[in-house]
């Protein structure tokens, strides 16, 4: 099919929940992909933070295809080696105790929310089921996770939403303290608010919240769906804040392109969920888990240091552009604030026409390039992006 045929059939047959860019991708390798009409693009999106090793990484393809030839699925009624290998790698890496596997970020947070509510109500009484999340956060699209999401624009059409969520502006400790009471079982946040505009939380705020949680036996949930698995130059972004959450949700990058996510639980929470409390047919699927095990094997300290270096390199280059006001984020998760009056979406479209895929987050241009992107592709992509910003 050519692009027009694909676009027409898409419009006719697929529910229009996404505004798509004018590009139909056919194949890719590394940080570059090729459209159905044969044009090459540099990818600064990684499929929204998913293809962390780029397109069709050789080692990842080998791990996934070998598993695919062996066993594609067996359900969670049976044991499977790929799943335990990923759980072992994740817990060893983080010091967390156990993992629950799902298939997406929303499911990872859903598992976290259910665990927090069960923990609160069973240890402190039936009213201890309230969760504080941050204004401008994003936690997913299920009813529970859009309720947790602290953005009014998501809180319409699908009423009734869940009771039991309170919202605190990011970095506002005074308000947070005023919201904490005996009914709060958890406080949930992204270390860098991704969809909310790549906004970094203050280290002092995060540390103070972690202290409040520890003192009051409230669970700290870190939503690391976008920030996790090396994206920020740390394995999980919370490490940069010197805290240890009770629950860490993850997805996106861990599968390297296949759907897998989940929640890591610390000592307080690792045995809260019992048989029958939660589950999903596909969670920790062997093929997705084999890909995840490969991704985790690549992300050693040296690799993560490179992520930080590349992020700093990109930031320095962008800051040379007079129309760039600031660059937020950490590692290879970046938000570019451009001159007032300029529209991020227009810049992203102009860059796409010239062969660079990038993203927006609120009024910023957002970059989530593959974590192993080469300096050559960084330079080539930045040249296109900076031209698009300069107009
Ligand atoms: C921080 C965060 N949490 C949760 C989600 C939801 O993940 P998914 O789209 O895989 O359900 C996202 C997606 O962008 C996210 O950025």
Task: Kindly list the averaged pLDDT for each block of 10 residues, start to end, along the chain of length 391.
Answer: 98 97 98 98 98 98 98 97 98 98 98 98 98 98 98 95 97 98 98 98 98 98 98 98 98 98 98 97 98 98 98 98 98 98 98 98 98 98 98 89
DSSP H/E element including 84: helix 81-94
Handedness of CA 178, 184, 187, 188 (dihedral sign): negative
**pTM score, two decimals?**
0.98
Token pair recorded at residue 188: 């949930």
The CB of 139 under 6 Å from ligand 1? The reply is yes
Answer whether 24's CB lies under 8 Å from 7's CB. yes
d(CA 75, CA 191): 33
Residue 96 confidence (pLDDT): 98
Q: What is the DSSP string of 8-32?
A: HHHHHHS---S---S--EEEEEBTE
Distance from chain centroid for Cα 383: 27
CA 355–ligand 1 middle distance (angstroms): 26
Residue 56 confidence (pLDDT): 98
Class of domain 3-56+301-390: alpha beta
Residue 50 confidence (pLDDT): 98
Q: Which atom belonging to ligand 1 lies closest to the Cα atom of 107?
A: 11
Answer whether 198's CB lies under 8 Å from 334's CB. yes
- Within 13 Å of residue 238, how many CA atoms lie on the same side as its CB? 24
Is CATH 3.65.10.10 correct for 60-298?
Answer: no
Length of the chain: 391
Token pair recorded at residue 242: 């010197």
DSSP 135: B
Token pair recorded at residue 235: 């394995």
* Ligand 1: residue whose CA is nearest its atom 16: 226
Ligand 1 test: best mutation among 18, 105, 194, 261, most atoms within 8 Å of CB?
105
Question: Which residues share a beta bridge with 326?
Answer: 337
Residue 163 confidence (pLDDT): 97
Residue 264 confidence (pLDDT): 98
Residues labelled as active-site residues: 138, 223, 252
Helices and strands (H, E) in the chain, number of each type: 12, 17
- In the chain, where are the structural domains located? 3-56+301-390, 60-298
Burial class (CB in 10 A: 0-12, 13-18, 19+), 343: exposed
Q: How far apart are the first and last CA of the chain?
A: 33
């Amino acid at each position: 099919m050519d692009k027009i045929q694909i676009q027409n059939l898409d419009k006719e047959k697929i529910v229009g929940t996404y505004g798509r860019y004018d590009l139909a991708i056919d194949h890719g390798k590394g940080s570059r992909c090729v459209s159905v009409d044969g044009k090459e693009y540099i990818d600064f999106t990684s499929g929204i933070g998913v293809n962390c090793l780029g397109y069709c990484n050789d080692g990842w393809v080998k791990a996934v295809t070998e598993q695919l030839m062996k066993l594609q699925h067996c359900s969670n009624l049976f044991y499977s080696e790929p799943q335990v290998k990923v759980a072992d790698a994740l817990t060893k890496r983080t010091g967390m105790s156990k993992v629950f596997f799902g298939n997406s970020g929303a499911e990872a947070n859903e598992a976290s929310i259910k665990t927090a509510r069960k923990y609160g109500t069973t240890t402190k009484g039936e009213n201890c089921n309230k969760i504080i999340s941050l204004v401008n956060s994003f936690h997913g699209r299920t009813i529970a996770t859009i309720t947790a999401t602290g953005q009014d624009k998501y809180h319409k059409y699908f009423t009734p939403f869940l009771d039991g969520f309170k919202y605190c502006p990011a970095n506002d400790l005074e308000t947070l303290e005023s919201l904490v009471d005996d009914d709060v079982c958890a406080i949930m946040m992204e270390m860098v608010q991704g969809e909310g505009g790549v906004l970094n939380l203050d280290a002092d705020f995060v540390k103070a919240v972690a202290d409040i949680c520890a003192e009051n036996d409230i669970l700290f949930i870190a939503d690391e769906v976008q920030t996790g698995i090396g994206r920020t130059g740390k394995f999980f972004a919370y490490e940069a804040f010197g805290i240890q959450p009770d629950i860490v949700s993850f997805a996106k990058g861990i599968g390297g392109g296949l759907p897998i996510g989940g929640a890591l639980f610390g000592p307080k929470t690792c045995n809260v969920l019992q048989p029958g409390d939660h589950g999903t047919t596909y969670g920790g699927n062997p093929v997705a888990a084999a890909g995840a095990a490969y991704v985790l094997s690549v992300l050693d300290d040296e690799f993560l240091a490179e992520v930080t270096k590349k992020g700093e390199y990109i930031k320095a280059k962008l800051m040379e552009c007079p129309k760039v006001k600031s660059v937020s984020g950490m590692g290879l998760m970046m938000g570019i604030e451009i001159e007032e009056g300029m529209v991020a979406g227009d810049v992203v479209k102009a860059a796409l026409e010239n062969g660079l895929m990038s993203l927006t987050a609120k009024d910023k241009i957002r970059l989530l390039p593959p974590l192993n992107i080469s300096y050559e592709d960084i330079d080539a992509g930045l040249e296109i992006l900076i031209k698009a910003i300069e107009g």
